[in-house]
A = this chain, B = another copy of it.
Amino acid sequence: MVGIVDVAKRANVSTATVSRVLTRPESVTEKTTEKVLNAIEALNYQPNILARQLRRLETKTILVVVPDITNPFFSKVLRGIEAVAVAKGYQVLLGDTGNNVEQEKGYLNILQQKKADGMVLLTARMDATAVEEVARSFPVVLACEYIEGSSIPTVSIDNISAARKATEYLIELGHERIGYITGPLDSVLSRDRLKGFYQGMARNNLKVDPVLVQEGDFTYDSGFNLMMKFFALGQLPTAIFASNDEMAMGVIKAIKSKGLKVPEDISVLGFDNLKFSSVFEPSLTTIAQPAYEIGENAMELLMNLINKEEVKQEQIILADKLVVRESCRNI
């Protein structure tokens, strides 16, 4: 292994000078710079980042905790994060929890052990106090999710208003008997969307039939199964609002499997605007989240925290958008 001392020896300078050539070239003569660079070249020297990190007490690494990397929505957020991270000279350490709360907790340690300079959480199902505890001493930002009553910086859309908007869109189309399929209710995000649904109904003086509100888990299968459950119960709604696109697709498949048509017989509305949602038949009317931008913003927020710059805005709310396609129509 060739180290800085080897370079220093070969170039006939001190290790300090070598280090300076690498980190603050303007502080050293052109002549010495050249000598040093030659030596580096000749020896094919690569500084050991670990040593630098230890000395500087920073890792230039951030940890991203994702509930499921396989979910295209999250991977898009992740990409936004990664893009600005590398632009700022940071690397991304990946923490996929597989939707497992225990693993989620485990990743908190990585921060405390100084293996990363900061963390962005795309999931916050674990003990809120544990997160807050860590956030007190280390840079942490939440993306997509948030923790109620916490002051941890957050970037997300306004799930409540988005769901309300979508619900009211269905109501405008003349639907009154609307079914709703939630995400897992241990996440605030799911609860917020549900809240938005209730608000939309209430504002228009419509009653929500409790049997038409069912808890799913964001998977295609749960959408399919819950729709089948609606069929089994008799009493169909005229429209279904599924709290993500994947479940919406399951719902539609279930409807088709009964020989009915979407949107002619039942309208279906999704949430996320996956790439595939426009390809699906019928193409999905859905709420689009700016996934990539959420990632970018989260990372920028984190950079501010890490650099102890003033954080102007602690809660960034990005705009969502209702994308109207074919899966909903007036009654």
A residues neighboring B (CB under 8 Å): 46-51, 53-54, 57, 59, 61, 64, 69-70, 72, 75-76, 78-79, 82-83, 86, 91-96, 98, 103, 109-110, 112-115, 220, 249, 253, 275-276, 279-281
Contact = CB atoms under 8 A, between A and B. Distances in A.
A28 B72 CA distance: 49
A220 B152 CA distance: 39
Contacts of A91: 93-95, 110, 115
A280 B10 CA distance: 64
Given A46-B114, A50-B115, A220-B279, 8 more contacts: A46-B109, A49-B110, A49-B113, A50-B54, A51-B54, A54-B54, A64-B94, A69-B79
Contacts of A110: 49, 91
Contacts of A275: 220
Contacts of A49: 110, 113-115
A70 B59 contact: no
Given A113-B48, A279-B249, A94 B96 contact: no
29 contacts: A46-B109, A46-B112, A46-B114, A48-B113, A49-B113, A49-B114, A49-B115, A50-B50, A50-B57, A54-B54, A61-B93, A64-B94, A69-B69, A69-B78, A69-B82, A70-B72, A70-B76, A78-B96, A82-B94, A82-B96, A83-B98, A86-B103, A91-B93, A91-B94, A91-B95, A92-B93, A276-B276, A279-B280, A281-B281
Contacts of A253: 279
A82 B110 CA distance: 15
A83 B249 CA distance: 28
Contacts of A276: 276
Contacts of A279: 220, 249, 253, 280
Contacts of A57: 50
Contacts of A109: 46
A18 to B, nearest CB: 15
B53 A79 contact: no
Among A54, A93, A253, max chain B CB count under 10 A is at: A54
A126 to B, nearest CB: 17
Nearest to A274: B276
A112 B76 CA distance: 29
A245 to B, nearest CB: 11
A49 B115 CA distance: 6
A113 B46 contact: yes
